[in-house]
Each structure stands twice: as structure tokens, then as C-alpha cells.
Amino acid sequence: MHTPAGVLVANEGGRTFLLPGGGARHRESREDAARRELKEETDLDTIESVFLFEYRGRIHKDSRGGFFRDSHKVFCMTTTGVPRPRNEIRYIAYYDGSNVNVSHATKRIIEKYLRLRRGE
């Protein structure tokens, strides 16, 4: 969700903010998962969602010695309601480029989104 204040980000209580989201359930589309996660984490209802792009990030080592790559389907959501922290989310903020600490992947996703929005 992009507003004049910035892009909505959420925090579970640590130092780093992330875009709202999470994994899809069995037989749930990524779009439906994004809508559900946004509602669960911020209490916002989605009016419209548009798939923007897939972000493939860094390769990470997992706790068992294997490797995985960050992969995110990114949607732009038009919403209704007032965002408030719900469930595991403790804080909500709006990232404008410098005001809150966001993860590497979150920063790259927002930068790519803003480039697309400007037509670059």
C-alpha cells in the first residue's frame, strides 16, 4: 500500500520492518495469500490487487546446512480501512526511503516498485 506518507511496512517487534505478507496455504493463490496476510496483519480490506513483479533475492543458508533464495510475488493493493497492528504485528509505519529500518529485500522491492511507478 503506497500513500503520500510512504509504503506501508510492518514490524513484529524487532528492529526491522517488512512488507506485509507471508506464505500461501495449500491450494491458495499467491494473490489470495497476499490479501489474507494483509488483512491478518493490518486489518485492511483489499478492494483491488494488481500483480507487479516477482522479486528473487539473495541466497541464504538455512539451519540444516541447505540453501534457499528469497522469492516474493509482489502485488499492489488498493485497500479500505485504517491500518492497525494485528496478530504477530506490533508496529506499522510508512517507509519513505529513510525513516524506518527495512530489510534488504524490502528495500529492493520498494525501490523496484517506485521505478516502475515512475515509468523507468
What is the helix (H) or strand (E) element at residue 2, kind and residue range?
Answer: strand 2-3
CA angle 65, 70, 74 (to 5 degrees): 165
Place of cell 520492518: 17
pLDDT of residue 117: 86
Q: What is the pLDDT of residue 73?
A: 92
Residues 6 or more apart whose Cβ sits within 8 Å of residue 29: none
Report pLDDT for 112: 93
Parallel, antiparallel, or unpaired for β 6-11 and 45-61? unpaired
Closest CA to 31 of 72, 3, 88: 72
Q: Domains of the chain by range and CATH?
A: 2-118 (3.90.79.10)
Q: Residue 1: its pLDDT value, please?
A: 59
Closest CA to 69 of 79, 55, 86: 55
Local mean pLDDT, 10-residue blocks, the chain (120 residues): 84 93 90 95 96 83 72 91 95 90 93 88
Strand, helix or coil at 81? coil
Amino acid 26: pLDDT: 92
Quote the pLDDT of residue 27: 94
pLDDT for 108 equals: 92
